[in-house]
Copies of this chain bind each other. A is one copy, B any other.
Amino acid sequence: MQKVNLSDKLSGFDEVWSPKIVGELNGQYVKLVKARGEYVWHHHEKEDEMFLVVRGRLSIHLRDRIVDLHEGEFFIVPRGIEHKPVAPETAELLLFEPAATRNTGNVDHAYTVEADKLERI
């Protein structure tokens, strides 16, 4: 039961595409992640996923369009929908999703971290 300062937590790591758990409630995780470059196309079979931009810009590529997010904007990718996040420069994101969510969804990739192996910061 401690408060979390997003900037403090974000200043504590540099890796990109490596989500860190900063909160847990009702079976959901609050995560912080830094993004830079192109992620991998994937989907989550059973989980909706929320991306909130804390700093920078993020483009979420969907198969039929691109959603451009700036600071203070969020987008929810519904379960089953293929998506590929892309950040032209380093972006800082808050994610909200079920604790069971695997970061690369249905895809095995160098970025994959199994849900039970995620770091808590």
Contacts and interface: CB of A to CB of B under 8 A. Distances in A.
B4 A30 contact: no
How many A residues touch the partner, as a band?
20 to 34
B3 A96 contact: no
Contact of A5 (B25, B26, B73): B73
How many of these chains are in the complex? 2
Given A96-B28, A96-B30, A96-B96, A4 B74 contact: yes
Given A5-B73, A73-B3, A26 B78 contact: no
A3 B47 CA distance: 18
A83 to B, nearest CB: 11
Contacts of A72: 5-7, 54
17 contacts: A1-B75, A1-B76, A2-B75, A3-B69, A3-B74, A4-B75, A5-B70, A5-B73, A6-B73, A23-B50, A23-B74, A23-B76, A24-B76, A25-B78, A25-B96, A30-B50, A30-B76
